Amino acid sequence: MKPVQEIEQPPATLEIQQPQAEMTMETVKSKLSIDATQARADVDLKSSFERTREVTQMAKQDLLDGVARRAEEGQELSRIENGGNAISSIASRSGRQPYSSLGIKFIPSYGSVKVSFEPGSVDIRVESKKPVIQVTPQKPIHTYTPGKVTAQMEQWPSIQIDFKL
């Protein structure tokens, strides 16, 4: 009978877990600024504060111009005895209107809108986790059935010697 040997290797038990990575994200918002104050002033859409400041400045200048003009006219009239026609020249100056200038003006003016931009940023951090692997090896299943050996003699030893003389 022949010997029988059987070997079986069960597969190892394998467990794999992959923990999720941790991700953090920080953002800085971008910033856009548009200043159209000058453009609005160019098309005569001024704030009440700006309008009041302009009117006050113009009234102050008109007052100073009027005081200077009257002082000059008074000086002219005080020298009336020197000759000349002071009353007529004063009347002709006050009756004449100044010429207005004609010209083309682009409204709003170039560069009157001021734009500034600060870009934002994004900071992304990812912390990966290593996989958790657990392996349990299995021992092989080995069965062996020994064979039987039988011995039998096919031919017994013998010697024959002949001597011839």
Report yes or no: 109 and 37 within 8 Å, Cβ to Cβ: no
Q: Where are the alpha helices (DSSP H) in the chain?
A: 37-42, 48-78, 86-95
Q: Provide the CA 39 distance to its chain's centre, in angstroms.
A: 29
pTM: 0.41
Strands 132-136 and 141-145: unpaired
Would you place residue 44 in the very low, low, confident or very high pLDDT band (cuts 50, 70, 90)? Answer: confident
| 18-44 average pLDDT score | 90
CA distance 68 to 80: 19
Q: Which of 13-27, 60-74, 76-90 bottoms out in mean pLDDT, i.e. has the lowest?
A: 76-90
Mean pLDDT, residues 5-30 taken together: 94
Encoded amino acid at 32, one letter: L
Kindly state the tokens that stand for 23.
């991700």
Write down the domain spans for the chain: 21-127
pLDDT at 63 over 80: yes
Residue 33 has pLDDT above 90, yes or no: yes
Q: Is the pLDDT of residue 84 over 80?
A: no
Is the pLDDT reported for residue 93 higher than 80?
no
- Residue 98 pLDDT greater than 70, yes or no: no
Q: In whole angstroms, give the CA distance from residue 1 to residue 149.
A: 7
**Rounded Cα–Cα distance for residues 33 and 27 (Å):** 19
For residue 42, name the pLDDT band (cuts at 50, 70, 90): confident
First CA to last CA distance, the chain: 53
Question: 129 vs 100, which has greater pLDDT?
Answer: 129
* pLDDT tens-digit map of 101-155: 667 777 778 888 899 999 999 999 999 999 999 999 999 999 999 988 888 888 8
Q: Which two tokens stand for residue 54?
A: 């302009």
7 CB-near residues (< 8 Å, 6+ apart): 140, 141, 142
Chain CA centroid to CA 143, Å: 70
Q: Is 46 exposed, middle or buried (0-12, 13-18, 19+ CB in 10 A)?
A: middle
